[in-house]
Amino acid sequence: MLYNIFIDPFMQMGAAPDLLVQTIWEGLVAGVLYALIALGFVLIFKASGVFNFAQGIMVVFAGLTLVGLHQKGVPAWLALFLTIGVMGILAMAVERVVLRPLVNQPDIILFMATFGLTFIIIGLGEFIFGGEPKQMIADELGLPQGTMRFDILGGKVIIQKIDVAAAVIASLMIAALALFFQYTRIGRALRAVADSHKAALSVGISLNQIWVIVWFAAGIVALITGIMWGARSDVSFGLQIIALKALPVLILGGFTSVPGAIVGGLIIGVGEKLAEFYWGPLVGGGIENWVAYVIALAFLMVRPQGLFGDKIIERV
């Protein structure tokens, strides 16, 4: 038994390194997408202290809008720009209707409000575009299709081109966000708001404006996530449960850290794929769905603020 848990999996890894590489690659790909979802959460949480339950549905809604517009005869690129516009309108609407009236309310109230927002967006999405799953318009957007094969380590590794594209686009976006946060006036204002609302107000930063910007940024992140994830499966409301996958990522990486979301996402992605492939057979498989939460739970006991998160000391 102990042999099966602690030794045999590593023997297998050593015996077939190409399979190991393949598994890790698939984990990384899944991890990038988890990281993107978590990133959407982190952006909003940092700037407003709101845990945005609706991030998952925003991913679906963005994908749905894009595909839906295309189905109605709008060219793919125009549909993309229109979707970006829709996410902007959504951000403004959320700020005006949800955040502004609830300013200074306890966090749990705002959390519940995003809960409600989730169902409003579901209803809205179904009403406009219908509830049936849709095919992502990956081709029309110029995303690469097909696979690449590499013969390495005495075996072969198969890589989907779309996954490579996803990884590249995600990295570019994360780098752009990091630069934006670090070196621009608005980026600094965003960080300032995350640190102290009072002080930010006193230097003339408008909280309402900042909230619109972060929700818009989270909307863009959601759109990219929706495209990438949709291209791997399809765009359906079932996709929103991936938002729950962001939870272990956030616990691992810390709720307030952008690098944390990325590293956390990759760890969870690789961790669950490895666990499924090498340890899954011991219990009859299917552990991919819950092993992430086990990792997160174990992590909570050791480092509750996450890998990179701020230490939270609250007086009781």
Partner 1 sequence: MVPAQHIAPGDALLKVENVSLRFGGVKAITDVSFDIKKGEIRAIIGPNGAGKTSMLNVINGFYHPQEGLITYKGATRAKMKPYVAASQGIARTFQNVALFKGMSTLDNIMVGRTLKMKSSFFWQVFRHGPAMQEEIVHRRMVEEIIDFLEIEHIRKVPVGKLPYGLQKRVELGRALAMEPELLLLDEPMAGMNLEEKEDMCRFILDVKEQYGTTIALIEHDMGVVMDLSDRVVVLEYGRKIADGTPDEVKADQAVIDAYLGVAH
Question: Which residues are near partner 1 by CB under 8 A?
Answer: 176, 179-180, 183-189, 191-192, 194-196, 198-206, 213, 310
Closest approach, Cβ 2 to partner 1, in A, equals 45
Q: Tokens representing 109?
A: 């109230």
Cβ 235 vs Cβ 67: under 8 Å: yes
Classify the phi-psi angles of 49: left when phi > 0, otherwise alpha if psi is within -120 to 50, otherwise beta: left
- Separation CA 289–CA 15 (nearest Å): 26
137 CB-side CA count, 13 A? 22
Cβ 30 vs Cβ 228: under 8 Å: no
Closest approach, Cβ 192 to partner 1, in A, equals 5
Closest approach, Cβ 186 to partner 1, in A, equals 5
Using the minimum distance from each CB to partner 1, give the nearer residue, 213 or 262: 213
- Separation CA 67–CA 77 (nearest Å): 11
- Separation CA 280–CA 98 (nearest Å): 43
Using the minimum distance from each CB to partner 1, give the nearer residue, 107 or 195: 195
35 CB-side CA count, 13 A? 28
Using the minimum distance from each CB to partner 1, give the nearer residue, 44 or 207: 207
Using the minimum distance from each CB to partner 1, give the nearer residue, 248 or 254: 254
Closest approach, Cβ 254 to partner 1, in A, equals 13
Closest approach, Cβ 191 to partner 1, in A, equals 6
Cβ 96 vs Cβ 163: under 8 Å: no
Using the minimum distance from each CB to partner 1, give the nearer residue, 145 or 209: 209
Closest approach, Cβ 213 to partner 1, in A, equals 8
In angstroms, the Cα distances linking 72 to 3, 66, 87, 135, 181 are: 58, 10, 18, 14, 37
Using the minimum distance from each CB to partner 1, give the nearer residue, 145 or 208: 208
Using the minimum distance from each CB to partner 1, give the nearer residue, 87 or 291: 87
Using the minimum distance from each CB to partner 1, give the nearer residue, 6 or 183: 183
Dihedral over alpha carbons 123, 128, 132, 134 (to 10 degrees): -120
- Separation CA 97–CA 104 (nearest Å): 15
Beta-carbon contacts of 175 under 8 Å, excluding residues fewer than 6 positions away, are: none
Closest approach, Cβ 198 to partner 1, in A, equals 5
Our measurement of the distance from residue 141's CA atom to the centroid of its chain's CA atoms, rounded to an integer in Å, reads 21
Closest approach, Cβ 181 to partner 1, in A, equals 11
Beta-carbon contacts of 266 under 8 Å, excluding residues fewer than 6 positions away, are: 27, 28, 31, 32, 35
